Amino acid sequence: MKRIIWMGIFSLLLVFQLSTAWSYEALRGPTELIYYDRAKAYNGYTLFSHTYHFLIDMEGNVVNKWAIPEGYAPEKTARLLENGNLLVALRPPGGEPPTGGTGIKGSVFQELDWNGKVMWEWKDPRPNYVAHHNFKRIFNKKLNAWTTLIATTRGSGNSIELSKADIVSKGADPSKEYKDFRPDAVIEVDMNGNVVWEWWSWDHVVQDKNPAWPNYGKISDNPGKIDMNWGRGQNSLDFIHMNSLDYNEILDQVVVNASIQSEFYVIDHGNTFIPGDPKASIALAAGPKGDILYRWGNPSVFKQGKEPSYREGIASENDQAVAFTHDIQWIPQGLPGAGNFLLFDNGSRRTTISRSAIVEVNPYKGSMKDGIYVPQMEAGYEKGRSKQIVWMWMATNPNSFYSRNISGCQRLPNGNTLATSGVHGHFVEVTAKGEVVWEYINPMYVSGKTQFGQGTPTKVMLDSMESSVFTSHRYGPDYPGLKGKDLKPQGKITDIIKPTKSGGGGGY
């Protein structure tokens, strides 16, 4: 009888353990490590930013943390460099993201050593440039030096917003009003703080409203340009809302995410960069050589596909493959799927059910190294899905892993994928077959209305608590940046971080 009772208890515990691997949908739930399959997960250290920049082991123990200055918030994410330093961006007080309001201040970029000492710092001194969201340290072969790519809003004069005269001069409808119009750019900064290259979305536009206005053309015949009159985002606020970027060293190309349009753009860096001549480089990137090389996600925005619809009670995404995306990236060389694109599809702007997914895209004809892209509509669809999607993961229950905004992903060396549901500070590692093998919940939450200050740790998270994390990154034990570092476990976050009264922390 006792044996039967214990077998019953064991079965219940096993069911609970397996069920937590697929997360939970409840008003409250535990934080920190939820599930860990040691045999299938990729062993390493996970980095994420909230009240501190935390580096944790697979058990959820902190092995290092970097403090965030009082009054500042992390600008989305941090990256551990191969030299062992941490590259971070800090949003100053009053430095809200460029999506509304006035008095916006750009991010401060710092490189910190293992102990938090500032080794490098840069802030854009130009009043009409506001750095935000994503950044990436790259090696520029033409300069034979390290540089940093930064997503930036660019305005005119002393303002980050374009005037109506600026907008109309590009072919916008002069009868409309335009408020807080802010086209995004990518800038490249060397280690001396010099801007050596820039690509501005506003230089690559087309309109089909009036042949008497500037930049007139047939939208579908100009996939290298952005329809300046498309959608709600073009009459106010963001032009494309660039929330992520990446660099391909082999192709010498940059990819940026245009979340307003739900697509990404590939840009030619190599053929628009002249070493030692930033002015000429910026001019090249502003011309035809800087037009979009390839775009994927929502062909209806340049009139080469059928847009989503909702008619007579029937919803359809039609040719739109993703809906509001984050963390676009090339899968690095040496990893499964190398050269393909990986992105987080928030799925929060669908005409059908809202659900998030990790999407892997192979857009090439032949090898990635050949750099021949196949247009999305030319590649075609099968059963309503783009044939260029070669892998996708979403939770069995869409609500158990869903984030309306922010979020990220990363392909791991063993073929697994690390996914971050940003709004809920929820990390999962999934296998190629979709099995969850590691799961973690950020225990730092924000209480009160302020977006700056210090978060508060909790072992139980309520739905009313904010524990947002923009994304996370996993580093293996053999990662060069961890060589020689003290990785001794210091304890769980909830054990070593003291609660605060204000509970401000980490607004996004």
| Cβ neighbour number for residue 209 with a 10 Å cutoff | 13
Tens-digit pLDDT profile for residues 386-440: 999 999 999 998 888 999 999 999 999 999 999 999 999 999 999 999 999 999 9
Confidence label for 154 from pLDDT (cuts 50, 70 and 90): very high
Quote the CA–CA distance of 73 and 470 in Å, as a whole number.
12
User: Looking at per-residue confidence, does 19 or 23 come out higher?
Assistant: 23
Amino acid letter, 215: N
Q: Is 256 inside any structural domain?
A: yes
State the pLDDT at residue 143: 97
d(CA 412, CA 432): 10
Q: Nearest-CA neighbor of 450 among 386, 506, 366, 379?
A: 506
The answer as to whether 157 is a domain residue is yes
Alpha-carbon gap, residue 394 to 409, rounded angstroms: 12
- The Cα diameter of the chain in Å comes to 89
Question: What is the pLDDT at residue 460?
Answer: 92
- DSSP 3-state percent helix, strand, coil across the chain (nearest 5): 15, 35, 50
What radius of gyration do the chain's Cα atoms show? Answer: 23
Quick one: pLDDT band at residue 100, thresholds 50, 70, 90? very low
Contact in structure between 363 and 374 (CB atoms under 8 Å): yes
Question: What span, in angstroms and rounded, lies between the C-alpha atoms of 324 and 311?
Answer: 22
Q: Which amino acid is present at 369?
A: K
Cβ atoms within 10 Å, residue 142: 15
Q: Can you name the residues that pair with 207 across neighbouring β-strands?
A: 216
- How far is the CA of 108 from the CAs of 105, 112, 200, 391, in angstroms? 9, 13, 21, 36
Instruction: Report residue 484: phi and psi, to 5°.
Output: 80, 5
- Quickly state the pLDDT bin for 464 (edges 50, 70, 90): confident
Checking if the pLDDT of 245 tops 80, the result is yes
The reply to whether 505 falls in a domain is no
Picking from 12, 17, 10, 78, the residue whose alpha carbon sits closest to that of residue 439 is 17
39 or 449, higher pLDDT: 39
What does the H/E/C string look like for 414-458? CCCEEEEEHHHCEEEEECCCCCEEEEEECCEEECCCCCCCCCEEC
Tell me whether residue 506 is in a domain: no
Distance CA 134, CA 256 (A): 10
At residue 370, φ and ψ (nearest 5 deg) are: -75, -25
Q: What is the CATH number of the domain that holds 454?
A: 2.120.10.30
Bigger pLDDT: 283 vs 467: 283
* Residue 332, strand partner residues: none
Determine which of 255-269, 439-453, 470-484 has the lowest per-residue pLDDT on average: 439-453
Strands 242-248 and 236-238: unpaired
pTM for this structure? Answer: 0.91
pLDDT tens-place string over residues 197-237: 999 999 999 999 999 999 999 999 999 999 988 875 455 56
Count of domains forming the chain: 1
Confidence of residue 194 (pLDDT cuts 50, 70, 90): very high
CA–CA separation, 403 and 469 (whole Å): 11
Per the CB < 8 A criterion, the answer to whether 299 and 376 are in contact is: yes
**Is residue 507 included in any domain, yes or no?**
no
Contacts of 85 (CB under 8 A, 6+ apart): 111, 112, 113, 114, 119, 481
Place of tokens 């990635």: 368
501 lies in some domain: no
How far from 473 is each of 46, 80, 349, CA to CA, in Å?
A: 5, 9, 26
Decide: 126 and 154 in contact? Cβ < 8 Å. Answer: no
- Interval 321-379: pLDDT, tens: 999 999 999 999 999 999 999 999 999 988 888 899 999 999 999 999 999 999 999 99
Q: Which two tokens stand for residue 305?
A: 């596909």
Query: In which domain, by residue range, is 463 found?
Result: 2-496
Query: How far apart are the C-alpha atoms of 33 and 443, rounded to whole Å?
Result: 10
The mean pLDDT of 259-270, rounded to a whole number, is 96
Handedness of CA 313, 314, 319, 320 (dihedral sign): positive
Residue pair 209/229 in contact by the 8 Å Cβ criterion: yes
Contact (CB, 8 A) for 62 and 473: no
Half-sphere exposure of 262 (CA within 13 A, CB side): 24
Both structure tokens of 93? 């007080």
pLDDT of residue 453: 47
Domain assignment present for 184: yes
Closest by alpha carbon to 345, among 415, 412, 257, 427? Answer: 257
Predicted pLDDT of residue 350: 83
The DSSP-derived string for 395-416 is -SSGGGS--SS--EEEE-TTS-
The encoded tokens of residue 174 equal: 């002069």
> Quick one: average pLDDT of 4-17?
40
User: Is 482 domain-assigned?
Assistant: yes
Residue 105 has pLDDT above 90, yes or no: no
Q: CA-CA distance, 369 to 360, in Å (whole number)? A: 17
